[in-house]
Amino acid sequence: MPPCATCAVPVLTQFASPELVGPIVYEDFDRAADPAWRDSGAATLDDYARWCGHLCGLACFRMFLGPVLGPSTPSLFELRDGALKYGAYTEAGGEIRGMVYAPFAAYAREVHGVGATVLRGDAAAVDRVPERGVGAGRRGLQVGCGWARSSPRP
């Protein structure tokens, strides 16, 4: 993926073929027809097609980890597998639920060393939260409904 024009971080999506984001999201393109599905780290095409539409939060987390971990950044589905172990996603009756923020924050802290805090309330609250634990060589992540603010190491 090309880097962001503002911050130079590579832009990643939850879909393996960036050019298919529009067709998948807006035109009902079959996810199982994504020719680059193997690049996602999914074990099978069926696994990719079933899960890729639920992994936008992990795609953002992967962009956050990328500048720090470089080539050793886990694949999207490696992150999914780790998040599943922490309960950040659940499956019930064939339905995928998640991302559940509190278990995800625990996963981010314990596995990836990211200071993660769950914010509850409206999105405007993000402006009132201090940058605790961020800076001085540390990295942090604050997550809440519909938004995230992160501070990767420079």
Model confidence pLDDT, tens digit, residues 45-101 = 999 999 999 999 999 999 889 888 989 999 999 999 999 999 999 999 989 999 999
Residue 37 within a domain: yes
How, if at all, do strands 115-118 and 147-151 pair?
unpaired
Residue 82 within a domain: yes
Q: What is the pTM of this model?
A: 0.78
pLDDT at 14: 95
Residue 49 within a domain: yes
pLDDT at 153: 37
Residue 3 within a domain: no
Q: What's the CA angle centered on 46, arms 26 and 3, to 5 degrees?
A: 55
Total domains in the chain come to: 1
114-92-54-62 Cα dihedral, nearest 10 degrees: 20
122-135 average pLDDT score: 49
Predicted confidence band at 126 (pLDDT cuts at 50, 70, 90)?
low
Domain span at residue 82? 18-151
Distance CA 45, CA 34 (A): 9
pLDDT at 116: 86
Residue 67 within a domain: yes
pLDDT at 140: 55
Distance CA 154, CA 141 (A): 14
Reported as a single tens digit per residue, the pLDDT across 20-51 is 999 999 999 999 999 999 999 999 999 999 99
Residue 11 within a domain: no
Residue 12 within a domain: no
Residue 4 within a domain: no
